[in-house]
Amino acid sequence: MDLMKIVTNVLADKLGVDGDTVQSVVEQLMGNGDGGIDVAGLVSSFNAGGLSSAVSSWLGDGANDGLDISDVVNALGSDKLASVASQFNLDVDQLAGGLAEAVPSVIDNASSGGNLLDAVGGIGGLADMAKKFF
């Protein structure tokens, strides 16, 4: 599943802008530097933002908990969102609302039964992710 495509489609519809603009926005907010989504970074950001229960629902196989605009702003940072929104002439709340819709789907599609190994690059990627916590 192409996670970048999922986010791009959701945000393009929500923001009413072209796919290239949306892809640039996504790469700045949650990119991995290789044209993909940094799923491990997203999980870490939303966990750090106090949303570990929601993150667990996205990683699991059941229903996904939703996000509010304030959750997205908390997890990704208001300055970062405002900077990217300004750069692309977007409304910050509209951008955060689109991300609130897209992020649970991205993490859900990158995982199965709580397993995020493939999305973070296998065991080595998991070890790299763990290093961020220590």
Tens of pLDDT, residues 21-45: 999 999 999 988 888 889 889 999 9
User: Above pLDDT 90, what percent of the chain?
Assistant: 51
The DSSP call for residue 112 is B
Task: Please tell me the total count of domains within the chain.
Answer: 1
Residues 25/11, Cβ–Cβ less than 8 Å: yes
Domain that holds residue 105: 3-131
For 10, 15, 31, 41, 71, the CA distances from 18, given in Å and listed in that order, are 11, 9, 18, 25, 25
The CATH number linked to 72 is: 1.10.10
Q: Which of 103, 127, 77, 117 is nearest to 3 (CA)?
A: 103
pTM for the full predicted model: 0.80
Using CA of residue 98, residue 14, residue 12, residue 94, what is the dihedral sign? negative
The most confident of the ranges 10-24, 31-45, 66-80 is: 66-80
pLDDT score of 9:
86
Q: Which of 42, 48, 35, 32 is nearest to 102 (CA)?
A: 42
